[in-house]
Amino acid sequence: MKQSSNQNCYFNNFESLFYLNVDAIFAISLDGNVLKVNYSAQNWSGYSEEELLNTNFFQYVNEEEQNNVRRCIESALNKGFVLCRFTFQTKDGKRKYFNAKFIPIDESDCQKGLFIVLHDISDLSEKYHESEKNFKIIAENVQDVVILLNDKLEYLYVSPSSKDVYGFSPDSINDEVPEPFFNIHPDYVKALEEAFYKATVDGKPFQLLLKALHVERGWIWTELKGTPVFDQHQQFRHMVFIARDMSKQKEYEEKLKYYAYHDALTGLPNRRYIRKCISKAMDQLNEEDKKFSIVLLDIDNFKNINDSYGHEVGDKVIVEFANRIQKAFEDVGTVARLGGDEFIALLHDVQSEEDLRATIGKAKQALCKEIDLYVNTTISITISIGVSICKTKYKKASDYIKNADQALYRVKEKGNNQFHFNYL
């Protein structure tokens, strides 16, 4: 882009101020093209004037900061003078931090472009950001354990909170000079070492879930976050670790997982769990020709029990029945509660209908024994059972369950307290 005679006039009038200024100065057009640079800009950028002229100023600015620089330019055109801060990439690929002043070349005619005066604050910015980062990490995690390790995996600092979280005093670290990652479970040391050295190279933080040793409680789940810290020359200084006791959260997660697949009243697996088991049995049928059976059971006229004795007694009957059904089929399959008085059993590796009838008959006898409600009070129950013998491949789980449900319906038609077999 050619410079107008008016622009050259402005440069000529302030030539000494422009060229002899210790701060870097760029003159740019409104679309960002570099019109002129001073000696300082060439020195710290590593580019010659010929290399910089007619290039676009934004190509040297971090992509994430470009919009902010554009806003500063627009503001300078309206207000006449604006301060801004951003980073500039030098010819050797390094990033320098600057305080920048945006000044219109001609206040009466903003179309002539702007001067950008850059004051190098790289050293100050590096120290500020490093201190700010460390302070922020510590300030936000005072309830956790803060650990600093150098490139030789030597402990530089361990926060006092280690006593509360893991039961050992920071002083013991200094006295004994322990091995690196001394309280990390052996199964996780290799992964931690790899994450550590990778972070020292790529400069990215990492996070791991592992087990760490507590002096009294043994191995406890721990979330470990590592943040690498570098000096102004981009040399690794140390790793800031934040260790958090996750044992209570893991216990909570395990409970959530348990209740997601188990019935709250009886402790038996629930519908979701048995569905997964049936899917696995279907795979074995399709791939290995291993037949299985689905057994649906319910207590005859259970509503009468609730109506006569109340729901508390009804729940007691359900719990006792669940215990009995679990014992009756524990050696041959998996049982679950579908809801109310409805239960399901998945029986594996079915040999023959004769063997299956014997198993069902024996289970029915055990399930129908009287149930003790309280002193001198018992209740008699009968049950209905529908069985689907599953040997046809490539069906849906719902097909097998529906077949067993149809068998149960046949029993209800006959008057309860029986069992019926269907094939699929």
Taking residues 157-183, report their average pLDDT. Answer: 80
The residue whose two tokens read 């449900």 is: 405
Q: Is the pLDDT of residue 91 over 50?
A: yes
Tens-digit pLDDT profile for residues 218-229: 999 999 999 998
Specify the CATH number for 126-250; select among 3.40.50.720, 3.30.413.10, 3.30.450.20, 3.20.20.70.
3.30.450.20
Taking residues 378-400, report their average pLDDT. Answer: 90
Q: For residue 344, give the H/E element and its range.
A: strand 342-348
- What is this structure's pTM? 0.50
Return the higher-pLDDT residue of 250 and 136. Answer: 250
Taking residues 258-285, report their average pLDDT. Answer: 91
Write down the pLDDT at residue 1. Answer: 41
Provide the b/e sequence for 109-121 (b: ≥16 CB within 10 Å).
Answer: eeebbbbbbbebe
Return the higher-pLDDT residue of 150 and 82. Answer: 150
The residues, any chain, with a CB within 8 Å of residue 397's CB and separated by 6 or more, are: 275, 278, 279, 282
Return the higher-pLDDT residue of 97 and 150. Answer: 150
Taking residues 23-43, report their average pLDDT. Answer: 90
Taking residues 4-15, report their average pLDDT. Answer: 53
Q: Is the pLDDT of residue 383 over 90?
A: yes
Write down the pLDDT at residue 175. Answer: 61
Write down the pLDDT at residue 139. Answer: 41
Tens-digit pLDDT profile for residues 113-140: 889 998 887 665 555 556 556 655 654 4
Taking residues 349-359, report their average pLDDT. Answer: 80
**392: phi then psi, degrees, rounded to nearest 5:** -90, 125
Write down the pLDDT at residue 405. Answer: 92
The residue whose two tokens read 């009886």 is: 266
CATH number of 5-120: 3.30.450.20
Write down the pLDDT at residue 155. Answer: 87
Partners of residue 230 on adjacent β-strands: 236
Q: Is the pLDDT of residue 417 over 50?
A: yes
Q: How confident is the model at residue 34 (pLDDT cuts 50, 70, 90)?
A: very high
Write down the pLDDT at residue 2. Answer: 46
Proportion of the chain in helix, strand, coil states, percent, rounded to 5: 45, 30, 25
Q: Which one, of 215, 218, 194, 214, lies nearest residue 206 by Cα?
A: 194
Write down the pLDDT at residue 13. Answer: 55
Write down the pLDDT at residue 134. Answer: 60
Specify the CATH number for 262-423; select among 3.40.50.300, 3.30.70.270, 3.40.710.10, 1.20.140.10.
3.30.70.270
Q: Is the pLDDT of residue 159 over 90?
A: no
Are domains 5-120 and 126-250 of this chain identical in fold? yes
Indicate the average pLDDT of the chain.
85
What pairing do the DSSP bridges indicate for beta strands 383-390 and 419-423?
parallel
Alpha carbon 247 to its chain's center: 16
**12: phi then psi, degrees, rounded to nearest 5:** -65, -40
The domain spans of the chain are 5-120, 126-250, 262-423
Taking residues 161-168, report their average pLDDT. Answer: 87
